[in-house]
Amino acid sequence: MNNILISGAASGIGAATARLFHGRGWRVGLLDLNPEPLATLADELGGVWRRAVDVTDAQALVDAVGEFGQVSGGTLRLLFNCAGILRFGRFEDISLAEHNRIIEINVQGVMNCCHAALPLLKGTPGAQVLNMGSASGLYGVPQMASYSASKFAVRGLTEALELEWREHGIRVADLMPPFVRTPMVASQTVEPPVLRRLGVTLTAEDIAEAAWRQAQSRAVHRPIGALFRAMYWSGQLLPPAINRWVMAWLSRA
């Protein structure tokens, strides 16, 4: 049976992905910092394996992934690094501690999960890592500076490991959506101009479907949504100054 281990699984995109893969016959493992909603989701899915863990705690992740391996027969078909946090606001209005926490969870957390899961991935034919990237990893977004920085890092890590881990037969990719209707986005008290102009049209279920498609694909980056796909591909062909102009226009006051 195919299996998937999801970080940040208790709500939003992680929870939607867990429901979709479970409903399509995959064995699901859940990781999240928040034990109560994690337990609720695990019960909803028939008592699937779960562990409450902070992705910034490297040793705790090693222990948790090792426990998952004991119930999965030492295999991991798909690691979905979905855990992440977001904060909208001007750079100077956000404390340095909050900026650092964004980087710690969104970047270090992904590296910790990849490092912990590698032994299981190496022992699984067709294994894959899927990282939660973002449209903000294409060009830096004003009032999302540290989040954009974290997603540029995820993009770079994805591209490097996609090449490096070919020797192990492990595919590595990321999803790159624009704004998604999740509790994390809904909880923000600041609305960047780019969000106001582009709106929030994608749902967590849309991203889960993209994760499902990527699980069958060899693509490295998966831009999501018609508008962002057009921006992404134009960005691969046009001079960087064009992307800068577009972002400046979208972010004008």
Catalytic residue annotation: 147
- Name the amino acid, one letter, at 40: T
Beta-carbon contacts of residue 39 (< 8 Å; ≥ 6 apart) = 50
Half-sphere exposure of 203 (CA within 13 A, CB side): 5
Q: Which helix (H) or strand (E) holds 206?
A: helix 204-214
Q: What radius of gyration, in Å, describes the C-alpha atoms of the chain?
A: 18
- Name the amino acid, one letter, at 123: G
Strand 49-52 with 27-32, pairing: parallel
Instruction: Give the single-character DSSP code of 93.
Output: G
- Name the amino acid, one letter, at 164: E
Q: Rounded to whole angstroms, what are the CA distances from 206 to 12, 130, 172, 213? A: 11, 16, 20, 11
Q: What are phi and psi of 203, to 5 degrees?
A: -110, 165
Tell me how long the chain is: 253
Q: What are phi and psi of 221, to 5 degrees?
A: -115, 135
